[in-house]
Structure 1
Amino acid sequence: MKKKLMKRLIVFVTVAVVAGSFIGCGKDTSNIEKEKSPNSGEIMVLGSSALQPLAEVAAKDFMEKNTDAIINVQGGGSGAGIKGVLEGSCDIGNSDVTADVKFGDQEKVKDLVDHKVCGIGFAVVVSKDVTIDSLTKEQIKDIFQGNITNWSQVGGTDKEIVLIHRKSSSGTRLTFVDKIMDGEKEDSSIGITKPESGAVREAVKVTEGSISYLALSYLSEDVMRDVKPISLNGVEPSNDNVTKGDYPFWSYEHMYTLGEAEGVEKSFIDYMISEENEKNVEALGYIPMSKLK
């Protein structure tokens, strides 16, 4: 009798333990988080003011399609973007120029991965009172090095030339030095320096005899009321002339990541170069990668 009672007790305890283990497993399973989508998470995109308008529109569209993604886009210049990625203050750094050109040190940027997302053209612009419509590269170089100081020296009216530079961290400025100045530095001791496109626009608008440069993507109808783009060696600044190879003042727009892009970083960069985003690229005045291959 005692043996039967003991056996029943053992069976009861065993069943209770097994049942409890299943219940426990059930609780653990319910607490397991679902695997996160590669399109979820929050990232900071920082850098080139020339690329900023496209990045902002693309981010808005991307977040509408991927509601678990948060993409913050800020300007600050190409140098700030690349530096931010290296220091970890942003996830993607936007730049008008390659990182090694910006920092002049291949070793320092060796861990960065370059993602070309579109092309961008630039134009030399002058104030509305300037009567000339075209300059050669040599004339522009002489103007920005202080060798030509009056518009009458290049076929214009007798009026002093006022230089408006971009700040040293500007990728647009480095592109200007590379493509127009052939690597030779401007004389930044003459004229004035402005931090970004909006400030350049305002300075050219209110300063008679002024000259500077802006991205074609920035030259909306509204901006064109304040500044006048001029031709380079007789070639009009346009995306069509860039893709045909007739106009040299342009560059790729780059998005840099520290190491290979992953998760929402990769998904957003992929969206930037996607066929779906080409409508934004062209509508905002940039050049799709498909037209630069």
Structure 2
Amino acid sequence: MRLPVPVARVATASALAAALAVPAVGAVGAAPAVAASKKSTITLSGSTSVFPLASALTKKYSTLNSKVSFRVAQGGSDKGITDASKGRVSIGNSSRDPRADDPKGLNFYKIAKDAVCLITNPSNKLANGLTQKQVQDIFSGKIRSWSEVPGAQQTGTISLQARNEASGTLDAFENLFMGGDSLSSTAARLGSNGLIQAAVKRDPAAIGFVSIEFLGGVSAATYQGVACTTGNAKSGAYKGTRSFWMVTKGAPKGETARFINWIRTSSAARRIVVAQKAVPLK
């Protein structure tokens, strides 16, 4: 299991507003006023899970602050964290928690929570859902046939679809679902949530795991008797829940700090988080 990072590296709202000398957003949904200057570009890279939310947030913020433009790329949480640590981007997007082996000098700002859903092909809806033991046995390779899974509509060999090592969703899945068991070497390793979604959608024998934003055309299984929904993630009933983070090298400054502060404090940003099926901080 990967070791958790010391709590001191996880920045709080008061630290962002006070220690960074960033004014809190006053008017509901408004971006902070900025002095006349040339346009600033905020660059982001990283998590494919955070990407839809980050894209929606940057699009809205651009309409509120004409002096800021954005470039948003993907590549996985580890790429975002590495890019931020090397100064390649202003913000690294991560869907995994900080780890002790992350580069030094990073600040992690929580922006939302997200549910990781277990998905199968629509022709193979799991009537009984899955327990943690079943998930461990399926993804470790101990259970290899759908005939061994009560409630499955298929009977053939299970096709495992998983994320690559750069993925924060993989990190969350291993920590939340696998209980220390290793992922089977037979699992396909894919580079994004969308690729897993597409693979499961076209393969009746497939099973995978994705952010809740990627459920179109697939069937989400209940986990430990609880459906994978935003409401159940918010209440804590659904246990496959993780955090979304924005990561900076040291304390963010200027427009980057204002943008992160807006995400964490404004009503407009909160509405976007909800619309993207994530769970807001408050």
Question: TM class by shorter-chain length?
Answer: 0.7 to 0.9
Aligned to 1:236: 227
Question: How has the CA–CA distance of structure 1 residues 38 and 200 changed in structure 2, closer, same or farther, with 3 Å as cutoff?
Answer: farther
State yes or no: 1:128 paired with 2:119. Answer: no
What residue in structure 2 maps to residue 64 of structure 1? 63
Asked whether 1:97 is paired with 2:96, we answer yes
Q: How far, CA to CA, are the matches of 2:125 and 2:277 in structure 1? A: 26
Q: Structure 1 131/44 Cα, relative in aligned 2: closer, same or farther at 3 Å? A: closer
Partner of residue 119, structure 1: 113
Tell me the TM-score normalised to structure 2 length.
0.83
- Provide the C-alpha distance between the structure 2 equivalents of 1:194 and 1:38, rounded to a whole number of angstroms: 43
Q: Which of these residues, 265, 271, 277, is aligned with residue 269 of structure 2?
A: 277
Q: Deviations over 1:132-159 (max 9, x none)?
A: 2301010010001100011111113422
When residues 137 and 37 of structure 1 are mapped into structure 2, their CA distance, relative to the original with a 3 A threshold, is farther
Q: Distance in 1 between matches of 2:187 and 2:112?
A: 32
Task: Tell me, in whole angstroms, the C-alpha distance in 2 between the residues paired with 1:218 and 1:138.
Answer: 24
Partner of 2:213: 217
Tell me the alpha carbon deviations over residues 179-231 of structure 1, each in whole angstroms, 9 at most, x when there is no partner.
001233211x2031211122111111111211001111222xxx1xx211000
Larger radius of gyration: 1
Equivalent of residue 173 in structure 2, options 169, 173, 176: 176
Asked if 1:201 corresponds to 2:197, the answer is yes
How far the C-alpha of 1:38 sits from its partner, in A, is 9.1
Change (3 A) 1:190 1:278: same
Contact preservation (8 Å) 1:81, 1:95: yes
Gaps of 5+ in 1: 1-34
Tell me, yes or no, if structure 1 residue 287 matches structure 2 residue 279: yes
SS in 1 for 2:271: helix
Is the contact between residue 122 and residue 214 of structure 1 (CA under 8 Å) also seen in structure 2? yes
Mark the CA change 1:94 to 1:51 in structure 2 (over 3 Å): closer, same or farther.
Answer: same
| 2:120 partner letter | V
Q: Which whole-Å CA distance do the structure 1 matches of 2:71 and 2:180 have between them? A: 34
What amino acid is the match of 1:122? V
Deviations 1:92-119 (A, max 9, x none): 001011231xxx52xx533101100011
